[in-house]
Amino acid sequence: MELSPFYQELLTSLNRGLIMSIALIIPSAVGGVLIGIVAGSIRTFGGSFVRTLADAYAAVFRGTPLVVQLFILYFGLPNIGIYLSPYLAAVIGFTLCSGAYQSEYVRGALLSIKSGQYLGAQALGFTTFQAICWIIVPQAVRRAIHGCGNEIIYLIKYSSLAFIVTCIELTGEGKTIATEYFRFTEVFTIIGLYYLGLVTLAMLILKNIEQRLYVPGFGHN
């Protein structure tokens, strides 16, 4: 059965937007997790100065709307001579915002590790850096994976804000078609199904990662 010209154009545009959405989500998710681990570790074990900086970073990016952050990156920075492409502004905004939330999950997980393990590592000759990297963080990552996974799922959905800085991804492509044909209900219903598919795929991947990292008895008294 041949699709009507409207649906042919719609699916072509949405598939093009899907590729851009994935190109936004993957680096933002990876960067957010890495920043979260570093910032979370600094907020837990860092000296007073760097801890204050990390706390300020988390407070700013968790306390302001992502839309405002994107506007500043794309429309505000040119006022001081910094010009970012729409794609780069979106990725930087998503990464920094996601990293701030990830740092909170990581910090909570680090604080949940009993201090005796840190002291035991020092007694065995580990430096503070080695104890954190090889003893504390690997355990904390397992405990933080649920929260970090939820943040990645949120990232998939708020990647739809990229179109406000003219990075035309899935939602932006759909909005263009909906405006052209005035068929908003059909277009955004299909867009919703695309995002549902992305979230479902992410949940399956995260579940697989969780199973691979699972240690029998870990986290139980």
Q: What is the CATH number of the domain that holds 179?
A: 1.10.3720.10
The answer to whether residue 221 sits within a structural domain is no
Whether pLDDT at 192 is above 70: yes
What crossing angle do the helices spanning 86-112 and 48-63 adopt, rounded to 10°?
120
The answer to whether position 69 is within a domain reads yes
Q: What's the total number of domains in the chain?
A: 1
- Whether 220 is in a domain gets the answer no
Q: Which two tokens stand for residue 110?
A: 């680090």
pLDDT band at 17 (very low <50, low <70, confident <90, very high): very high
Long-range contacts of 155-158 (CB under 8 A, 24+ apart): 155/25, 155/28, 155/29, 155/32, 155/94, 155/98, 156/21, 156/25, 156/195, 156/198, 156/199, 156/202, 157/195, 157/199, 158/66, 158/94
- 114 part of a folded domain: yes
Residue 217 has pLDDT above 70, yes or no: no
- pTM, rounded to two decimals: 0.88
Task: Look at residue 218 and tell me if it is in a domain.
Answer: no
**Residue 218: what pLDDT?**
55
Q: Would you state the pLDDT for residue 32?
A: 95
Expressed as residue numbers, the domain containing 145 is 5-213
Q: Is the pLDDT of residue 221 over 50?
A: no
Q: Domain for residue 63, yes or no?
A: yes
Q: Tell me: pLDDT of 46 over 50.
A: yes
pLDDT band at 163 (very low <50, low <70, confident <90, very high): very high
Q: Is residue 107 part of a domain?
A: yes
pLDDT at 68: 96
